[in-house]
Amino acid sequence: MKLFFSSVITLLLVMDPFGNIPLFITALGKVPPERRKKVLLRELVIALCIMVFFLLAGHRFLEIIQIKDFSLQIAGGLILLLIAIDLVFGVDHGTRTEAKEEEPLVVPLAIPLVAGPAALSMTIILAAQVPHILLLLAIAAASAFNSVVLLFSFPISGILGKRGLTALEKLSGMLLTVMAVNMIMSGIAAFIKAG
């Protein structure tokens, strides 16, 4: 159960639903209000399918190209650290994309905002540590929470305001920083042990 909850929290932090609210509002701004929910649900289902694909096939692909678990752990930790720096200090490392004027399809909502590099690499990393069925449930739970937040992105934005969203984003960034450092140190420890 502990593995399940830690996986859900990790995935939620890298998905960053509250931090993505302004980007989703911008991306859906030109979409007619009656179509927004359908477009958003479609994008969230696509993102979920991509994450499940990475759960099932990602580790096998890494084995084929001979990438070790500790390398993936260190790389995933570095990616998380960059995203955490982005969240805490507002530095953009290419993880955020500008919305286009037409109705979004896959990019930028499904990829990279929900199923971005951090979420996909985290899925692969967790797949090496957590039983697949448990991780599948964790992905479903994190995706469900993410979906609820993003489906109510317009009302939440109105309630919290820009400062409230920024505070939540910075808090997520701080938690993500600690997790990133822990992943990097675990990867280094595994490398030393394997050496």
112: pLDDT strictly greater than 80: no
Q: Say how far apart CA 69 and CA 175 lie, in whole Å.
A: 23
> Counting Cβ atoms within 10 Å, is residue 54 exposed (0-12), middle (13-18) or buried (19+)?
buried
Per-residue confidence band for 98, with pLDDT thresholds at 50, 70 and 90: very low
Q: Say how far apart CA 41 and CA 101 lie, in whole Å.
A: 19
- Cα angle, residue 77 at apex, residues 74 and 78 outer, rounded to 5°: 90
> Counting Cβ atoms within 10 Å, is residue 32 exposed (0-12), middle (13-18) or buried (19+)?
exposed
pLDDT confidence of residue 49: 95
**Domain limits, the chain:** 2-194
pLDDT confidence of residue 83: 74
- Mean predicted lDDT score pLDDT of the chain: 83
Per-residue confidence band for 164, with pLDDT thresholds at 50, 70 and 90: confident
Per-residue confidence band for 91, with pLDDT thresholds at 50, 70 and 90: low
Q: How many CB atoms lie within 10 A of CB 188?
A: 14
Mean pLDDT over residues 77-98, rounded? Answer: 67
Kindly tell me the sign of the dihedral angle through the C-alpha atoms of 73, 76, 80, 85. Answer: positive
pLDDT confidence of residue 93: 41
Please report, rounded to a whole number, the percentage of residues in the chain having pLDDT higher than 70: 94
Whether the pTM exceeds 0.75: the reply is no
Mean pLDDT over residues 81-103, rounded? Answer: 63
Name the amino acid, one letter, at 162.
K
Mean pLDDT over residues 118-140, rounded? Answer: 89
36: pLDDT strictly greater than 80: yes
**69 or 53, which is more confident:** 53
Mean pLDDT over residues 185-191, rounded? Answer: 88
